[in-house]
């Protein structure tokens, strides 16, 4: 890890005459899962370029499984940042998934025994696909197919990317160290639809790049996170 999802209350959506056809839900979920899952290759390459072993990169993908946080962590480490600072930045970036979980727990209403396992798949893409469905059954199917596809492909391509980066040697000589940030920006750009979102992104970019030469690696990322409350505060004053 998004916007533009329809609103509703727990359970069935207001005005939903029927569930979407299963084939349509699976098709959309597979499309999202495959498209995003393949970017795990870029993470594997980036992790290897940051000095992280193949085993460590695979463990991150298996147990963290949230691309933005993983890229933030290895990016800060690659820049020479303190491991604790890098981990803090990744943690704060991943807290959004907790808010996704609050919404999805009402929508999906999964059995208690399943929730701990499903929580691991609560990320941007699974949330977007689930919330785009008109009813609970479709939402459950979309969440499950997206989560499974993404998890399998992300971990597989992480392994392939890390092994490939080790095979080619110095990733910086090939320009592969830029693969992670490039993929992250490519995934982020289409989501910036409103003027507020674009303002947050612009301010975060200015803060991150402007403070990079004067602060320790990893700290500018944490400060850039202040862009969202700053823009919302300014917008509130204007209105």
Residue located via tokens 């399998």: 152
Per residue in 129-164, pLDDT tens?
999 899 999 999 999 999 999 999 999 999 999 998
SS3 (DSSP) at 124: helix
Q: Which residues contact 191 (CB under 8 A, 6 or more apart)?
A: 2, 3, 197
- Measure the CA–CA gap between 227 and 46, rounded to whole angstroms: 26
Which pLDDT does position 26 carry in this prediction? Answer: 94
Q: Where are the domains of the chain?
A: 22-191, 193-239
- Measure the CA–CA gap between 47 and 203, rounded to whole angstroms: 27
- Measure the CA–CA gap between 42 and 62, rounded to whole angstroms: 16
Q: Which of 53, 98, 41 is nearest to 77 (CA)?
A: 53
Q: Up-side HSE of residue 42: CA atoms within 13 Å toward CB?
A: 22
Tokens of 226: 């202040």
pTM over 0.95: no
Mean pLDDT of the residues in the chain: 81
Q: Which of 133, 117, 97, 125 is nearest to 33 (CA)?
A: 125
SS3 (DSSP) at 59: helix
Per residue in 173-204, pLDDT tens?
555 555 555 655 665 666 677 888 888 888 88
Contact 51, 108 (CB under 8 A): no
Residue located via tokens 């200015």: 206
- For the chain, report the end-to-end CA distance as a whole number of angstroms: 30
Which pLDDT does position 178 carry in this prediction? Answer: 56
């Amino acid at each position: 890890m998004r916007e533009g999802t329809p609103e509703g209350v727990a359970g069935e959506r207001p005005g939903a005459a029927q569930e979407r056809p299963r084939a349509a839900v699976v098709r959309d979920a597979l499309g999202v899962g495959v498209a995003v899952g393949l970017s795990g290759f870029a993470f594997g390459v980036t992790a290897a370029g940051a000095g992280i072993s193949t085993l460590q990169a695979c463990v991150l993908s298996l147990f963290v499984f949230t691309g933005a946080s993983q890229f933030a962590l290895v990016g800060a480490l690659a820049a020479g940042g303190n491991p604790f600072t890098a981990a803090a930045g990744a943690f704060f970036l991943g807290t959004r998934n907790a808010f996704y979980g609050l919404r999805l727990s009402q929508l999906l209403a999964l059995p208690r025994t399943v929730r701990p396992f499903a929580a691991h798949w609560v990320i941007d893409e699974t949330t977007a696909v689930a919330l785009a469905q008109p009813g609970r059954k479709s939402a459950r199917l979309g969440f499950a197919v997206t989560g499974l596809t993404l998890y399998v492909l992300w971990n597989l391509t992480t392994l392939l990317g890390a092994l490939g980066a080790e095979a080619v040697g110095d990733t910086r000589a090939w320009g592969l160290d830029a693969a992670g940030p490039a993929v992250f920006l490519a995934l982020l750009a289409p989501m910036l639809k409103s003027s507020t979102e674009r303002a947050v992104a612009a301010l975060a970019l200015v803060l991150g790049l402007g403070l990079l030469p004067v602060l320790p690696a990893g700290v500018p990322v944490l400060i850039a996170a202040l862009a969202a409350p700053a823009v919302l505060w300014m917008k509130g004053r204007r209105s």
